[in-house]
Amino acid sequence: MAATGRGMGVDVTLVGLGAAVLADQLGDLVGGMLTRLHAERAVRLRLGVAVEGLSGSGGRVSGVRLASGELLPAETVVVAIGSRPATGWLHGSGLSVRDGVRCDSRCRAAPGVYAVGDLASWHHEKLDRRLRLENRTNAVEQAQIVAANLLGEDRPYVPLPYFWTDQYDTKIQAHGFFPPGARADVVEGDLEQNRFVALYHLEGKVTGVLGWNMAKAARLHRGRVADAIGV
Ligand SMILES: Cc1cc2nc3c(=O)[nH]c(=O)nc-3n(C[C@H](O)[C@H](O)[C@H](O)COP(=O)(O)OP(=O)(O)OC[C@H]3O[C@@H](n4cnc5c(N)ncnc54)[C@H](O)[C@@H]3O)c2cc1C
């Protein structure tokens, strides 16, 4: 949104709790690069600070109040702070609905009850951890597994997640997982040339690969990630 806004010549201020853009999701290395990228394109950054509220009158917003006391003038505000699964209607059903509908590795919440998509939290057998993903690829791939299981198969859902994002002329592709604390090592290209592939490791194990203007090379490393995870 920030990149598109700047591309249209709009003044943009990006506010976030993290110390760098997307550092919580992609680590400090890529977070630092993204922060620089937006700063170079004249996005005003207010990082590491919470939004306290909006100000305005007559039903129109005129500013954003920060916890630091600063009031940012604003004509348009985009709120992008995540979402919560709408599971209220399932309370009292007997299903566990803490952070989505809690499923086993087959995406089964209870005998004869399955969940897919944004609201399904399931046990990824190969990672041995619970995941809940919010993207279309996941909704489609998970539904395929659930359809097969409904028809009598017994398949675990063990995807290697993938997402991409284009910011200005920078194209980022990410395969796998980017857990907090993972180390990112540049294995191809370099930061100075604005083209690199970073492999993420946690506790000695490869968890993900990210391409920064190197989509093809990142895809070639995807196999290493899949092998390491066993999917
Ligand atoms: C602004 C935005 C941009 C996005 N951009 C991307 C993107 O670029 N790429 C990407 O991969 N993903 C993107 N996503 C995420 C993607 O839209 C979701 O991951 C995907 O739609 C999940 O599919 P789903 O079927 O799980 O849920 P949904 O598509 O949300 O479908 C759930 C449906 O259930 C209905 N529903 C809810 N409660 C009830 C009820 N009690 N009774 C009956 N019906 C009910 C809802 O009305 C809705 O129609 C975006 C999401 C948002 C909000």
* Shared domain check, 142 and 94: yes
Give the domain range for residue 66: 2-73
Whether 123 is covered by a domain: the verdict is yes
Task: Name the residue among 8, 16, 159 with its Cα closest to residue 81.
Answer: 16
From the alpha carbon of 163, which atom of ligand 1 is closest? Answer: 11
Whether 155 is covered by a domain: the verdict is no
Show Cβ contacts of residue 17 under 8 Å, excluding neighbours closer than 6 positions: 48, 49, 50
**∠ CA 30-81-18, rounded to 5°:** 40
CA of 121 to the centre of ligand 1 (A): 15
Q: Write the CATH number for 142.
A: 3.50.50.60
3-class secondary structure, 155: coil
pLDDT in tens, the chain (231 residues): 999 999 999 999 999 999 999 999 999 999 999 999 999 999 999 999 999 999 999 999 999 999 999 999 999 999 998 889 999 999 999 999 989 999 999 999 999 999 999 999 999 999 888 999 999 999 999 999 999 999 999 999 999 999 999 999 999 999 999 999 999 999 999 999 999 999 999 999 999 999 999 999 999 999 999 999 999
Whether 78 is covered by a domain: the verdict is no
* Shared domain check, 167 and 145: no
Residue 78 CB–ligand 1 contact under 6 Å: no
Minimum CA distance residue for ligand 1 atom 34: 86
* Shared domain check, 173 and 139: no
Whether 157 is covered by a domain: the verdict is no
Indicate the number of domains in the chain.
Answer: 3
Residue 117 CB–ligand 1 contact under 6 Å: yes
CA of 172 to the centre of ligand 1 (A): 23
The pTM assigned to this predicted structure is: 0.87
